Amino acid sequence: MAHPSRVRVTGPLESFAQGFAAELLRQGYRPKAAVDQVRLLAHLSRWLDSKRLGATDLTTAVLDEFLVARRSQGYVLGLSPKALAPLIGYLRCVGVTVLEPTPTPNATEALLARYRDYLLGTRGLTATSVRGYVDLVRAFVASRVVEDELDWASLRPADVTGFVLIARQNRAIGSAKLLATALRSLLGYVHIEGLIPAPMRDVVPSVAGRRLAGLPRSLEPPDVRRLLASCDRRTGAGRRDFAMLMLLARLGLRAGEVRRLALEDIDWRAGELLVRGKGSCLERLPLPEDVGQALTAYLQRGRPATAQSRTVFVRVRAPHRALSSGGVTQAVAAAAARAGLERVSAHRLRHTVATEMVRAGVPLPAVAQVLRHRRLMTTAIYAKVDRERLRLLARPWPGGTT
């Protein structure tokens, strides 16, 4: 089997080859994948030599030029900036600076950067929430650009309502409500900066949508069993996905809570989990035996020894960094596809936990406690899933049979 240390490297990057190969193996790359990475380094080194450039001449523009040359020579692997990321990361760690052009922010991005700092520093929002707010209001800020400058002096209530009405189209009610909330926040901040004389929060129209109007979508017990059975627990990836699905389907955790679960959050002696929920809220939940067994199987025979994070769940492929919330969601969707089910989201399993609890006669306050809802009204939507009890309350249709 090929070994990355045996790849011949010449040119200005030759001195980095052995260290890069060792680092790849330390991070958990399989030998073949590590060989491909070192061969990419070797090609870059030869190309730099042909251009009479050295390691200190590396910039993003130089790397882009190298990738163009690599494509023109017929290579089929390592053709994107993402492929160079492991190498660039290693070079930076050993002191080689890879310069990136510093873009001059336009008027829109400059204001959004200040707004981002305000949300993070003054308001204390999480980075994820801040990113969502900024993305939602970017189009509105861009609409105020006149001749490369932001024009707030001419802002009128009709501009705000018109933007919301247009942006509301083709959006779900929840997304439209969040857009209105983010826009109110932005207008408050713009007022704080002194760019508008009044906050104008009140001119943002409310998005119509009845609370508790929908019915939470849940899976039936046979479908949950099929979902769990789709994980091949003979493999590390299967043990990981099975453990995540058990946390979602048995405890009703959110995808982000599964992602953030750390090794020290599992209290094996007390049989508890420390759940890092929304708004930096920390709560403890009992650890059921079957969930504990799934976690144990993954930690002992699935989680890579080269994991680079204290989070329980990490990427299957090297580098074995912490798994993202999107990774949790993708694992659920992949399990649903294997089980022959329609697309299933991680949050749908949370709905399933609540639905089954209500059908079993668990009082709503107890359901709210398990789901860690701050308001009982949030849990009240699940009162509608117990159809047998609702039939006792339903009045007969006029003129119909009882």
pLDDT tens, position by position, for the chain (402 residues)? 578 888 899 999 999 999 999 999 999 898 899 999 999 999 999 999 999 999 888 988 899 999 999 999 999 888 998 999 999 999 999 988 887 665 667 899 999 999 999 999 988 887 878 999 999 999 999 999 998 899 999 999 999 999 988 988 878 777 888 999 999 999 999 999 999 998 888 889 887 665 545 556 778 899 999 999 999 999 999 999 999 999 999 998 989 899 999 999 999 999 999 998 876 788 898 999 999 999 999 999 999 999 988 999 999 988 899 988 889 999 999 999 999 998 888 888 988 888 888 887 888 788 777 777 777 666 666 655 555 454 544 456 666 555
The question of whether 90 is a catalytic residue gets the answer no
Task: Give pLDDT, residue 217.
Answer: 74
CA-to-CA dists, residue 226 to 46, 246, 335, 340, 341, angstroms:
52, 13, 9, 9, 9
Choose the catalytic residue: 278, 301, 310, 317. Answer: 278
What does the DSSP assignment read for 2-61?
--GGGS---STTGGGHHHHHHHHHHTT--HHHHHHHHHHHHHHHHHHHHTT--GGG-BHH
Residue showing tokens 């052995």: 18
Q: Do the beta carbons of residue 37 and residue 4 sit within 8 Å?
A: yes
Looking at residue 199, its pLDDT comes to 82
Examine the residue annotation and report whether 373 is marked as an active-site residue of this protein.
Answer: yes
- R_g of the chain, CA atoms, integer Å: 27
b (16+ CB within 10 A) / e for 367-397: bbebbbbeeeeebebbebbeeeeeeeeeeee
Inter-residue contact 183 to 203 (CB < 8 Å): no
Q: Which helix (H) or strand (E) holds 92?
A: helix 81-93
Length reported for the chain: 402
Give the per-residue pLDDT at 206: 83
Answer whether the bond into residue 319 is a cis peptide, omega within 30°.
yes
End-to-end CA distance of the chain: 77
Q: What is the pLDDT of residue 293?
A: 96
Q: Is 372 a catalytic residue?
A: no
Quickly count: other Cβ atoms within 10 Å of residue 40's Cβ.
Answer: 22
The whole-model pTM stands at: 0.70
Identify the residue whose tokens are 């981002």. Answer: 116
Helices (H) and strands (E) in the chain, counts: 17, 5
Strand ranges (E), 80-213 = 145-146, 149-150
382 is annotated as an active-site residue: yes
Please give the Cα distance from 214 to 308 (Å, whole number).
42
The two structure tokens encoding residue 352: 């399933």
The Cα 384–Cα 371 span in angstroms is 17
Active-site entry in 138, 347, 359, 372:
347
Please indicate whether residue 350 is annotated as part of the active site.
yes
The per-residue pLDDT for 281 is 80
Active-site choice (43, 70, 240, 254): 254
Would you report the helix, strand and coil content of the chain in percent, each value rounded to 5? 60, 5, 35
The structure tokens listed for 96 are 């080689």
Question: How far, in Å, CA of 182 to CA of 188, rounded?
Answer: 10
| Gap between the Cα atoms of 50 and 78, Å rounded | 19
In 3D, which of 67, 331, 348 has the Cα closest to residue 217?
348
Contacts 24+ apart (CB under 8 A), 147-151: 148/106, 148/107, 149/107, 150/107, 150/108, 150/111, 150/195
92 is catalytic: no
The single residue of 29, 133, 189, 382 carrying the catalytic annotation is 382
Give Cβ neighbours of residue 64 (< 8 Å, ≥ 6 apart): 81
Q: Which entry of 144, 250, 350, 351 is annotated as an active-site residue?
A: 350
